[in-house]
Amino acid sequence: MEDKPHYLGHRKRLRKRFGKGGAEGFHDYELLELLLTYAIPRYDVKPIAKDLIKRFGSLSGVLDAGQKELEAVGKIGPISATLIRLVKELQGEYLSEGMKGRDLVSSPQAAIDFARVSISGLGHEVFLAIYLNTKNRVLGHEIIQEGTVDHTVMYPRRLVEAALKHKAAGIILVHNHPSGYSEPSPEDKRLTQALAEVDRPMDLRILDHIVVGKDGYFSFAEKNLLTVNR
């Protein structure tokens, strides 16, 4: 009889460790390795997991990668790439549900966590709008504008029209910096000033403008910059 492949016992030990203590004590590559065991049944996936993290720089970089980028790594086919991307999508949905029923003005961290998972890892700039009712609870969210790697034009009128369409009483606007740095640019500051002006004659509150990046986030509301000249 042929000996069983060495990686079968290793897979069993990984699953047992995770079953007992979750992700505690795992290296990033081991978590990715464990995930890949469910997509690649007959192969030692440890080298693949390490290759992925080396290629994309970190576990978060792997989760942020697109389908074609993942499939370009050896031994990663459509099924494995889809499974990896599904993990991030599930995380986003989990955090989206976590925003529901909360007052996002008094508990803004839920919106920040959702935004960072959803858009901070994208390779191009996008604007995400979170629509709120009169009690500051979530009505919905959507990406309303997409741009290039370092620039996106967002017109306040476009945001107001989208808010009225959703019958929103308030808006939290979020956008990402693919560079990773969350410090707002001069354009970000001008847009925020324009947003602060646009809700004056309307029954619509611009509650925050959040910039997210790999290094963290910047909230104009936290810095009291939404009330300038008001």
DSSP string of 87-153, one letter each residue:
HHHHHHHHHHHHHTTS-TTT-THHHHHHHHHHHTT-SS-EEEEEEE-TTS-EEEEEEEEE--SS---
Q: What is residue 1's predicted lDDT score, i.e. its pLDDT?
A: 41
Structural domain that includes position 205 = 102-219
Residues 106 and 154 in one domain: yes
**Rounded percentage of the chain residues whose pLDDT exceeds 70:** 93
Residues 210 and 161 in one domain: yes
Instruction: Please give the mean pLDDT across all residues of the chain.
Output: 88
Q: What is residue 71's predicted lDDT score, i.e. its pLDDT?
A: 95
Q: Which two tokens stand for residue 111?
A: 């919106």
- Model confidence at 230, pLDDT cuts 50, 70, 90, reads very low
Condensed to tens digits (0 to 9), the pLDDT of residues 70-98 reads: 999 988 999 999 999 999 999 999 999 98
Which of 27, 61, 92 delimits the end of a domain? 92
Give the count of domains, the chain.
2
Segment 202-228 shows an average pLDDT of 86
Of 222, 219, 224, the C-alpha closest to 116 is 219
Q: What is residue 229's predicted lDDT score, i.e. its pLDDT?
A: 39
Residues 211 and 178 in one domain: yes
Spell out a b/e string for 15-46, using b for 16 or more CB atoms within 10 Å of the CB, else e: eebbeeeeeeebebbbbbbbbbbebbeeebbb
Of 117, 39, 119, the C-alpha closest to 71 is 39
Residues 69 and 106 in one domain: no
Residues 186 and 138 in one domain: yes
Question: pTM of the predicted model, to two decimals?
Answer: 0.82
What percent helix, strand, coil does the chain show, rounded to 5? 45, 15, 40
Residues 85 and 123 in one domain: no
Helix (H) or strand (E) holding 48: helix 46-56
Q: Which two tokens stand for residue 186?
A: 């001069």
Of 204, 187, 200, 188, the C-alpha closest to 227 is 200
Which of 92, 116, 148 delimits the end of a domain? 92
Domain for residue 209, yes or no? yes
Residues 130 and 201 in one domain: yes
Segment 97-103 shows an average pLDDT of 87
Condensed to tens digits (0 to 9), the pLDDT of residues 128-178 reads: 999 999 999 999 999 999 888 777 788 888 888 899 899 999 999 999 999
Domain for residue 129, yes or no? yes
| Residue with token string 């925020």 | 192
- Model confidence at 201, pLDDT cuts 50, 70, 90, reads low
Segment 4-25 shows an average pLDDT of 85
Segment 122-133 shows an average pLDDT of 93
Residues 121 and 215 in one domain: yes
User: What CATH number does the domain containing 47 carry?
Assistant: 1.10.150
Domain for residue 86, yes or no? yes
Domain for residue 31, yes or no? yes
Residues 69 and 123 in one domain: no
User: What CATH number does the domain containing 134 carry?
Assistant: 3.40.140.10
Collapsing DSSP to helix, strand or coil, 159 comes out as: helix
Residues 139 and 202 in one domain: yes
